[in-house]
Structure 1
Amino acid sequence: MRRLRANKAAMGGLALVMMFALVAMFAPLLAPPTGNCARDLNVMSSRDVYSPVSRVFWKAVFSAPPSCYLVTRVSFSELPSPPRRAAPFGVSRGYDVYYGIVWGTRITLGLGVAICLINLLVGTVVGAVSGYYGGVVDLLIQRFIDVLFSFPGLVLTVVLVTILKPSLVTIVLAFTLTGWATYARIVRGDILRVRALEYVDAARALGARDARLIFRHVLPNAVASALTLVVLELGTVPLGVAALSFLGLGLPVGFADWGQLIGFARAWIQGPPGSPFGYWYITFFPAAAIVLYSLSWNLLGDGLRDAFDPRSR
């Protein structure tokens, strides 16, 4: 931890991660609910969510209904509108960009955590079984992983999402079906190293069963690399999700999705005649959110890798 705290870049990444986490948690306060979201929260005024002693506050913060993740539509005009008091980041295709970025932080963070945790769990179990037992079991598992690696990850994800139809569950399923193999390969390598150590032989000699050897003695000493990869993946998964949305394969139109906001801006990147950067705001703010979010996790992941890597001491 001392090495991590001494890494200024990692601390900067941690500060950004905490900022995004706070934005996600307090999205109802930063972008108050309106329309169907307010109706489903049973509030008469958006000011009702500001009182921490009310039930509405806690429901909005911890269990907001799906309608709250729909970007507020403030206009039916296709033309972008510049930033103003009612829409600080402007309006894109009639949708409030600020509302989409704030509530989109929840979707981005939730998808990233869910996908990475499932990948870690599946990859760790498969990698532990493959590395510990070796032989035919290891051979079959590794050849199957080689087949997965032979396909570009994003292309395989696009195919799966297209077949299964876009939705939150489909996106999580597609990214986990294509992402666990990396964790399995890393955990397998660490397991091969750890299982040959003397304390594992001692535990086996004392009568420890395979399950106890794997999950009590071997695995805890072989997952440091995988945990570091989780932090790095938390910064790259949103890029893949945004790419799907940009291609029209992400969440349904209207959901608070950063990639979808970038997709809305495609027709207006050039700007109006005589002002090539006249519509800069509809691209800049969603792109800045994606870049800062990915940068924060990558800085933190690099710091964790350097702090826990014995070769850097």
Structure 2
Amino acid sequence: MLKNRIFKRIYTTKTSLAGFLIVAFFLLIALFAPVLAPVHNANNPYQMPQKSYQIAPQPPSAQNWFGTTEQQYDLYYGVIWGTRLAFGIGITVTFFAFLIGLLVGAVAAYFGGKVDEVLMRLTDVVFAVPSLVLAMVIAAMLGPDIKNMMIALTAVAWPSYARLIRGDILSVKRRDYVTAARTLGAGGPRILLRHILPNSIYPSVVVASLDIGYIVLTAASLSFLGLGAQPGTADWGQLIAMARNWVLGTAQNPLAYWYTVAVPGAAIFLFVLGWNLLGDAFRDILDPRQV
């Protein structure tokens, strides 16, 4: 069974197991965020508590385990609730991008002709602009907000799925079992949904698992540039943006404010690493072209 293959692969491969454990660790943090860091603002749980209005960050202490950012936002609260926000952004954007790409790629490949030409040229238009630049433009036009940032990321992420799914469907639709189903009188939608898509979707699922980490990394980049989360939001990119004025420390101690960059930076690094390792495991399990 596929489920047994998945668990066997994860448990018997060190890198896959490491990825699974990292993602599971962050998932537990996201699920138990209200327990680990009690909500400060009931109307907006992602709003970090502000200890004071002092400009300089404060080092880790018994009151603030990870220290504070500039203007005294609690880093611990930001990392904990930023984990939940990272899962929300990564999974939501990947899901909708996958759904749009699946629809566009399936329609283009199955019907072909002018439909395929129009849809693929639309895909080429999106591909013509670097994804980060296009996401920045869309986010700037919509305004700095998490929902607008997610729309921008979805708008630039779907073409890769459309291309991949189209190519796999073009291969699968010529196989004998599809021809046999058509000969027996099966309709177009039935053939597409029951025979073609289930046998051509796995490579795209692998890419989606890898993309979750990339989406979170891109979202952090947009927030760092001021095109994502609002100041004070528990967002990893926003935390690093608050640390940019303190990277060099002081003349006497260049590492005086190391925690302002190291803590959110480590969270982003481990989150992306976990999804990449787990995605490699899914690739080996689901992609029949892998030996």
Shared fold, TM over 0.5: yes
Unaligned runs of 5+ in 1: 41-65
Q: Name 1:50's counterpart in structure 2.
A: none
Q: Name 1:92's counterpart in structure 2.
A: 69
1:83 equivalent to 2:60? Answer yes
Equivalent residue in structure 2 for 1:109, among 79, 82, 87 = 87
1:217 equivalent to 2:223? Answer no
Q: Name 2:150's counterpart in structure 1.
A: 172
Equivalent residue in structure 2 for 1:7, among 3, 13, 32 = 13
1:226 equivalent to 2:204? Answer yes
Indicate if the aligned counterparts of 1:166 and 1:250 stay in contact, CA closer than 8 A. yes
* Amino acid in the other structure paired with 2:57: P
Structure 1 residue 29 displacement after superposition: 0.8
Structure 1 residue 91 displacement after superposition: 0.7
Q: Name 1:272's counterpart in structure 2.
A: 250
Identity among equivalent pairs (%)? 43
Alignment length (residue pairs): 284
Q: Supply the distance in 2 between the matched residues of 1:124 and 1:12 (Cα, whole angstroms).
A: 30
More off after superposition, 132-141 vs 287-296? 132-141
Q: Supply the distance in 1 between the matched residues of 2:147 and 2:55 (Cα, whole angstroms).
A: 30
Indicate if the aligned counterparts of 1:4 and 1:307 stay in contact, CA closer than 8 A. no
* TM-score w.r.t. length of structure 1: 0.89
The within-5 A match list for 1:33-182 is 33-34=39-40, 37=41, 40=42, 66-93=43-70, 94-182=72-160
Indicate if the aligned counterparts of 1:164 and 1:170 stay in contact, CA closer than 8 A. yes
Q: Supply the distance in 1 between the matched residues of 2:39 and 2:123 (Cα, whole angstroms).
A: 45
Q: SS of 1:312's equivalent?
A: coil
Indicate if the aligned counterparts of 2:149 and 2:227 stay in contact, CA closer than 8 A. no
The ranges of structure 1 where at least 4 consecutive aligned residues each deviate by more than 6 angstroms after the TM superposition are: none
Structure 1 residue 33 displacement after superposition: 2.3
Q: Supply the distance in 1 between the matched residues of 2:25 and 2:160 (Cα, whole angstroms).
A: 29
Q: Supply the distance in 1 between the matched residues of 2:260 and 2:10 (Cα, whole angstroms).
A: 37
Q: Supply the distance in 2 between the matched residues of 1:76 and 1:137 (Cα, whole angstroms).
A: 58
Q: Supply the distance in 2 between the matched residues of 1:3 and 1:22 (Cα, whole angstroms).
A: 22
Q: Supply the distance in 2 between the matched residues of 1:160 and 1:181 (Cα, whole angstroms).
A: 16
1:286 equivalent to 2:286? Answer no
Indicate if the aligned counterparts of 1:10 and 1:300 stay in contact, CA closer than 8 A. yes
Q: Supply the distance in 1 between the matched residues of 2:186 and 2:23 (Cα, whole angstroms).
A: 41
* Amino acid in the other structure paired with 2:63: A
* TM-score w.r.t. length of structure 2: 0.95
Indicate if the aligned counterparts of 1:157 and 1:175 stay in contact, CA closer than 8 A. yes
Q: Supply the distance in 2 between the matched residues of 1:137 and 1:32 (Cα, whole angstroms).
A: 52
Q: Supply the distance in 2 between the matched residues of 1:289 and 1:309 (Cα, whole angstroms).
A: 29
Q: Supply the distance in 1 between the matched residues of 2:288 and 2:178 (Cα, whole angstroms).
A: 21
Indicate if the aligned counterparts of 1:116 and 1:233 stay in contact, CA closer than 8 A. yes
Q: SS of 1:19's equivalent?
A: helix
Q: Name 1:44's counterpart in structure 2.
A: none
Indicate if the aligned counterparts of 1:69 and 1:104 stay in contact, CA closer than 8 A. yes
When the two chains are superposed, the root-mean-square deviation of aligned CA atoms in Å is 1.1
1:16 equivalent to 2:31? Answer no
Q: Supply the distance in 2 between the matched residues of 1:68 and 1:258 (Cα, whole angstroms).
A: 15
Q: Name 2:220's counterpart in structure 1.
A: 242
Unaligned runs of 5+ in 2: none
